A and B are shown apart, each in its own frame.
Chain A
Amino acid sequence: MRRDRLLAYALIAPSILFLAVIFLIPLGQTIALAFTRHGTFGLANFARMAGDLNFRNAVANTLGLVIVVVPLQLALALGMSMMLRHLKRGRELILWIWSIPLGVSDLAAGLVWLGILTEKGYLNTILYHLGVIHGPVSWLTYETPLALFIGILVAEIWRATAIIFVVLVAGTQLIPAEFEEAASVFGATAWQRFRRVTVPLLRPSIQTALILRTVLAFEAFAVVLAIGGQNFPVLLSQAYLWQDTNQDYGVAAAYAVLIMLITLAATLFYLVALRPRAGEVA
Chain B
Amino acid sequence: MAELLIEGVAKSFGPVVALAEATLAIGDGEFVALLGPSGCGKTTLLRIVAGLEEANCGQVLIGGRDVSALPPRARGLAMVFQNYAVFPHMTVGENVAFGLAMARAPAARIAKQVARAASLMQIETLLGRYPAQLSGGQRQRVAVARALAVEPAVLLMDEPLSNLDALLRLEMRAELKAVLREAGTTTLYVTHDQTEAMGLADRVAVMHEGRIVQIAAPSDVYRRPASVFVGGFVGNPPMNFLRVAAVSGEVRLGALRLSAPMEEGGLLLGIRPEQLAVVETGGFLFRVAVAEPLGTHLLLTGETGGQRMRAVVPPDATVVAGAELLLAFDPAAIRWMDAASGRAIGAA
Check A281 against B132 for contact (C-beta < 8 Å): yes
Tell whether A18 is near chain B: CB-to-CB under 8 Å. Answer: no
Check B83 against A176 for contact (C-beta < 8 Å): yes
Check B132 against A178 for contact (C-beta < 8 Å): no
Q: Min CB distance, A174 to chain B, in Å?
A: 12
Which of A196-204, A210-218, A223-231, A251-259 lies on the face that meets chain B? A196-204
**Which among A186, A279, A282 is the interface contact of B98 at CB below 8 angstroms?**
A186
Tell whether B163 is near chain A: CB-to-CB under 8 Å. Answer: no
Check B88 against A192 for contact (C-beta < 8 Å): no
Pair count A-B, CB < 8 A: 74
Tell whether A131 is near chain B: CB-to-CB under 8 Å. Answer: no
- Per the bound structure, the CA–CA distance linking A181 and B79 in Å amounts to 10
Check A185 against B52 for contact (C-beta < 8 Å): yes
B94-121 CB contacts (< 8 Å) to partner A: 98-99, 102-103
What residues on B are CB-neighbors of A277 within 8 Å?
89, 130
Check A178 against B73 for contact (C-beta < 8 Å): no
- Per the bound structure, the CA–CA distance linking A270 and B5 in Å amounts to 51
Q: Min CB distance, A186 to chain B, in Å?
A: 4
Check A182 against B89 for contact (C-beta < 8 Å): no
Q: Min CB distance, B238 to chain A, in Å?
A: 33
What residues on A are CB-neighbors of B102 within 8 Å?
183, 186-189, 192, 196
What residues on A are CB-neighbors of B87 within 8 Å?
179, 182-183, 197, 200-201
Check B132 against A280 for contact (C-beta < 8 Å): yes
Nearest B-chain residue to A199, judged by Cβ: B89
Tell whether B71 is near chain A: CB-to-CB under 8 Å. Answer: yes
Tell whether A184 is near chain B: CB-to-CB under 8 Å. Answer: yes
Q: Min CB distance, B100 to chain A, in Å?
A: 9
Check A201 against B89 for contact (C-beta < 8 Å): yes
What residues on A are CB-neighbors of B129 within 8 Å?
279
Check A185 against B73 for contact (C-beta < 8 Å): yes
Check A282 against B146 for contact (C-beta < 8 Å): no
B interface footprint on A244-282 (CB within 8 Å = 1, 0 otherwise): 000000000000000000000000000000001101111
Nearest B-chain residue to A184, judged by Cβ: B72
Tell whether B85 is near chain A: CB-to-CB under 8 Å. Answer: yes
Q: Min CB distance, A231 to chain B, in Å?
A: 45
Query: Given A183-B98, A197-B87, list of 13 further CB < 8 A pairs?
Result: A179-B87, A182-B79, A182-B81, A184-B52, A185-B50, A186-B150, A187-B73, A187-B103, A188-B73, A189-B102, A277-B89, A279-B130, A279-B132
Q: Give residues in A with beta carbon < 8 Å to B.
A: 176, 178-179, 181-189, 192, 196-197, 200-201, 203, 276-277, 279-282
Between A and B, 15 residue pairs with Cβ closer than 8 Å are A178-B83, A181-B50, A181-B52, A181-B72, A182-B81, A183-B87, A184-B51, A184-B52, A184-B71, A185-B50, A187-B103, A188-B98, A192-B102, A279-B130, A279-B132
